């Protein structure tokens, strides 16, 4: 089975308190669903583009596992806590 990766790029974080509430719930929710954080934080250097905001990469055993984690009740609670506190792109891509 091919691994899959969730790649989350934050376009902006407008409410740090809502983001903190989200993060408190999201990390444990993703890990409980089998996700493994590969990278998370601000870029060290931008070689192309202009977005200097947070990026998160999470590894899963399969695309189905990544989708299941995103759709889980516990992760959706985190999304609800975030609300409109951030704009982001959330993508799931298959591994090579």
Full residue range of the structural domain in which residue 44 is found = 4-94
DSSP assignment of 28-92 equals HHHHHTT-EEEEEES-S--SSSS--S-EEEEEESSHHHHHHHHHSHHHHHHHHHHTTSEEEEEEE
Domain tally, the chain = 1
Q: Does the pLDDT at position 1 exceed 90?
A: no
**Residue-wise pLDDT tens digits, 31-52:** 999 999 999 999 999 999 988 8
pLDDT of residue 51: 84
Q: The tokens of 48 are what?
A: 């192309």
Q: Domain of 29: which CATH number?
A: 3.30.70.100
Chain-centroid distance of CA 84 in Å reads 15
């Amino acid at each position: 089975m091919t691994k899959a990766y969730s790649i989350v790029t934050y376009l902006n974080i407008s409410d740090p308190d809502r983001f903190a509430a989200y993060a408190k719930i999201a990390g444990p929710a993703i890990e409980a669903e089998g996700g493994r954080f590969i990278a998370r934080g601000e870029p060290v250097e931008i070689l192309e583009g202009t977005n200097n905001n947070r990026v998160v990469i999470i590894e899963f055993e399969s695309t189905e596992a990544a989708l299941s984690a995103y759709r889980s009740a516990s992760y959706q609670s985190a999304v609800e806590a975030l609300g409109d506190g951030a704009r982001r792109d959330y993508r799931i891509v298959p591994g090579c």
